[in-house]
Chain A
Amino acid sequence: MENNQADSPAINLKQRKLLGRSLGVLIVLGAVASGVWVWRINYQHPRTNDAMVRADIVGIAPEVSGRIVALPVADNQYVKQGDLLYVIDQRPYQAKLDEAKANLLIAQNEVDSRRASSGSADLAIERLEHQRVAASAEVSRIAAEDEYLHNYLQRIQPLAEKHYVTTDQLKQARSRYAASRAALADAQAKALSARSAVEEAKSDSRRAVSLIAQVGNVNARIAAAQAAVSAAELDLEYCQVRAPFNGYVSNLNTREGEYAKAGTPLFALVDDRHWYVIASFKETYLKAIKPGHAAEVFLVGYPGKRYRGVVTGIGWANSPDNIKQQGVLPEMQRTLNWVVLAARFPVRIEIAGRDPEYPLRMGMTAFVTVLGQSADNAATAHKTLPTQ
């Protein structure tokens, strides 16, 4: 019957020739045209299956060391920002805080005591200053008396030669003058001593002031003790480790009793606020990808499900693989690469829409298509299309 169809008079040889040649031309032209079409679509909407779902990971390390006494979270548990993750034994840090507070009290008392000492030194300076003034006045008084006795001796000496005064009176005048000279020297020495005592007292006062360690309105001793208290309070607070953001506990493989070392992560926290895809695009397609472009993300784990995404950035640096640094000189490989593969750069695509029924997990295999239009336009277009 098929041969009857083929041999039917409706298709004669001429028609068959015309149809056959037309189909041949259409097949060749169609192959070329469809190939060009495919190439254009692939260039305008770059796509890659070399992509993975990512989230920011933070290692949860304690700020202080100690034994873990409480661990209220479990592996893979969802935690909210501020939730308690684990508690380190607080007793040593509480003792340090108490010690710091005691040291603060001691510092305050010491400062008060030194301030009192400084006040006493000021009073001593005032007293010694009065003594110095009195000594100076005594020097002046004795000097005046000494001058009088000197004048008196000079006056009676000529009179003694003419025997108007007795020898005894002359000797008495000389004796009183010599005593006056000695008294004057003694008073001057006392005045110098009083001045030295004043200088020494001032020096002591300055030393007392410096020991108070007051700088403007801040007392350095008390401030240092208060800083020690703050540091101890902070250490005590660090004993309770809390979630810095909403996320998932990951790789928690220990329990209470473990000794936690400061700076060593106990487990990881997966940031649930931002999920993104890192897609490796060939460098030849980067010209068609711009930050802000909308993208479509397909996860092989969820067939039929499409996620909307936005290109947020393209990597600026890749490790160059044609050069190695050995010592101080570059090591250049002897190669003869005729066919060179295109380099790939990481393109970051922020996943915009989340679906609780299709939870995202870091490391999921993704297929990304950059739609090549701004995310706003894509969102508008998405509203007009049926969602899958």
Chain B
Amino acid sequence: MTATPWFYNIGFYKMAFGAVAVVFLTACDPMLSLEGSFWPAWIICILAGLATSMVLMWQLVRHRLTPYLGSPLLIAPSLWALCTFAIWLLFYAS
């Protein structure tokens, strides 16, 4: 029995699309309140983007794709930036 990789799984994309659609319909508050201190969206996006890019990079490493992505000095910050901007666009742009 051979398992299908996640990026070939149609169900994964359906689930991801549903999650994105839900997120688009409900934008987050533009500031995060933590015990009376208000944190701007860009800090949240940078931290969340860092965590997301680490997870994605781990997946890429796990599937042995990293040697073919390109220079890590370019790919790692680009992935972080992409995740940061994507999170901002999904949660805070509207």
Chain A interface residues toward B at CB < 8 A: 1-2, 4-6, 8-11, 16-17, 19-21, 23-25, 27-28, 30-31, 34-35, 37-38, 41, 47, 49, 298, 300, 303-304, 365, 367, 369
Which 6 A-B pairs give the minimum distances between C-beta atoms? A20-B68, A34-B85, A24-B69, A24-B70, A31-B78, A31-B81
Chain A residues in 8 Å Cβ range of B31: 49, 298, 300, 367
Closest A residue to B69 by beta carbon equals A24
For B79, the closest partner residue in chain A by CB is A27
Instruction: Tell me, rounded to whole Å, the shortest Cβ–Cβ distance linking B28 to chain A.
Output: 9
Contact between B78 and A28, CB atoms less than 8 A apart: yes
The minimal Cβ–Cβ distance linking A138 to chain B, given in whole angstroms, is 112
Question: Taking CB as reference atom, which chain B residue is nearest A21?
Answer: B68
**Distance between B76 CB and nearest chain A CB, rounded to angstroms:** 9
Say yes or no: B89 contacts A23, CB within 8 Å.
no
Query: Is the Cβ of A38 less than 8 Å from the Cβ of B29?
Result: no
**A31, A41, A47 — most chain B CB neighbours (10 Å):** A31
With a 10 A CB-CB cut-off, give which of B2, B29, B89 has the most chain A CB atoms: B29
Contact B38 A28 (CB under 8 A): no
Q: Which of B5, B74, B77, B89 is close to A5, meaning CB atoms less than 8 Å apart? A: B5
Give Cα A34 to B82, complex, Å: 7
Of all chain B residues, the one with the shortest Cβ separation from A26 is B82
Task: Considering the complex, give the chain B residue whose CB is closest to the CB of A298.
Answer: B30
A23 touching B69 by the CB < 8 A rule? Answer: yes
Contacts of A30 in B (CB 8 A): 78, 82, 86
Residues in B lying within 8 Å of A, measured CB to CB: 2-5, 7-8, 29-31, 33, 38, 40, 60, 62-70, 74-75, 77-79, 81-82, 85-86, 88-89, 93
Which chain A residues border B2 with CB–CB below 8 Å? 8-10
Q: Which of B62, B65, B86 is A20 in contact with, Cβ under 8 Å?
A: B65
A25→B2 CA distance, assembly (Å): 29
| Inter-chain contact B38/A49, CB cutoff 8 Å | yes
Q: Tell me the smallest distance from the CB of A167 to a CB of chain B, in Å.
A: 141
A-B contact pairs, 25 of them (CB 8 A): A5-B5, A8-B2, A10-B2, A10-B4, A10-B8, A16-B64, A17-B68, A19-B68, A20-B65, A20-B67, A20-B68, A24-B68, A25-B70, A27-B79, A30-B78, A30-B82, A31-B79, A31-B81, A35-B81, A38-B89, A47-B30, A49-B30, A49-B31, A298-B30, A369-B30
Q: How far is the CA of A19 from the CA of B7 in the complex (A)?
A: 10
Question: Are A11 and B89 in contact, with the CB atoms below 8 A?
Answer: no
Flag if A4 contacts B3 (CB, 8 Å). yes
- For the complex, what is the distance from the CA of A11 to the CA of B3, rounded to whole Å? 11
Closest Cβ–Cβ distance, residue B6 to chain A (whole Å): 9
Complex interface: chain B residues within 8 A of A10 (CB):
2, 4-5, 8
Which chain B residue shows the least CB distance to A1? B3
Cβ distance B72 to chain A, nearest Cβ, rounded Å: 10
Minimum C-beta distance from A307 to chain B (A): 13
Residues of B contacting A11 in the complex (Cβ-Cβ under 8 angstroms)? 5, 63
Contacts of A9 in B (CB 8 A): 2
Residues of B within 8 A of A5 (CB): 3, 5
Q: Which residues of the partner chain B approach A31 to less than 8 Å between Cβ atoms? A: 77-79, 81-82, 85
Known A-B contacts A11-B5, A24-B75, A31-B79; A19 and B30 likewise in contact (beta carbons under 8 Å): no
- Asked if B75 and A28 make an inter-chain contact with CB atoms under 8 angstroms apart, the answer reads yes
Q: Which residue of B lies closest to A17 (CB)?
A: B68
Minimum CB–CB distance from A164 to chain B (whole Å) comes to 144
Residues of B within 8 A of A25 (CB): 70
Q: A21 contacts which of B8, B70, B74, B82 (Cβ < 8 Å)?
A: B70
Give min CB distance, A36 to chain B, whole Å.
9
Contact A303 B40 (CB under 8 A): no
Contacts of A21 in B (CB 8 A): 68-70
Q: Would you call B38 and A300 a contact (CB within 8 A)?
A: yes
